Structure 1
Amino acid sequence: MITWNRDPDGGTVLLTLRGMRIGDTVTLAVLDSLEIRDPHALLAVHTNGELGAHGPTIGADAAHSHAATLALDSTTLALTRPVPLHDPAVTDLPATSWVDLPPDLAAILRPTLDDARTAVLVLLDRTEGWLAAIGPFPNHAAADTWQPADGPGRTADRLTVPLRAITIEQAQP
């Protein structure tokens, strides 16, 4: 196997595979990857206080535009909120990761019990009425092990919520 990489980021653009015994060769071009540069999720709060997430999307506008679809599909949806998704590979949470919530809403939130394969970790400061969303994670166990480096995230409540995938058309602005 031979990979052809581009400068300066080293991204793979071609991949050549060769069968050593018979000498056949095939080269594949990597045309594009689905990499979301401004990942957001749409948090969905239901009338019973259960919190779920939908996404990831490309930016807050795309997340917000998915709210109407959710409202049509649910009789218990109380409100939605687009939030930035913090990269789980980075343990420092910048101030821009935190989103304000009404304090009365922060007091009642709890994770939706769901069997979704992917998850988002929501750090919830019930006293200050703000939250930060970290993810996506491949499963609930991976989300449960993530820890922020320092700051308000260390003392916040941890809600591991299911991340429901949306279509690529819905993920774009």
Structure 2
Amino acid sequence: MMRDEEILAEFRAADALLEGHFILSSGLRSPRYLQCARVLMNPARGARLAEALVARIPDDLRARITAVVSPAMGGVIAGQEVARALGVDAMFVERPAGTFELRRGFRLEAGQEVLMMEDVVTTGLSSREAIAAIEAAGGTVIAAASLVDRSGGNAQFDMPFFPLIRLDVPTYEPDALPPELEAIPAIKPGSRAAA
């Protein structure tokens, strides 16, 4: 099983562990940001991380997963790699009008057992919205997973959650920044505007 130090080494090798003042998709601010798109741009690295994540899912649960569905944009590559490791189809939900939905001819059978796969979970909001869209499309989400859980244990789901790594990275409300962050211009590296 891949250790946390080995996982972080993969992020560092891809220059995906950034420091500065970042606006997260949740609207919160952070001094560190993990750019999963950079770590996944190398297919061999993405495959290694996906296989390590799949190894954390118990065999009995893993055997039930028939599809992986991810929220676009950030979860698409992670979902594809995890689906490859599981030997199942990969799909994604997207927000054409502000709410996640399954499109592009993707469809789930009624009750089809699905893994919802994210790149990074901070508050869990996008994940919960993706889960709701999967269930609205007929799927049953039996597990959630992410490459990174940076929620500090605060992201809660109604099914088992399997992050590859948990990172304790501080987050702040925009009106409660520490002085060192206030002094740095904020950058928004994520894939969607803050709500």
- As a proportion of its length, which structure holds more strand? 1
Do they fold alike, i.e. is TM over 0.5? Answer: no
- Higher-Rg structure is 1
Higher RCO (CA-CA < 8 Å; seq separation 6+): 2
- As a proportion of its length, which structure holds more helix? 2
TM-score, normalised relative to structure 2? 0.26
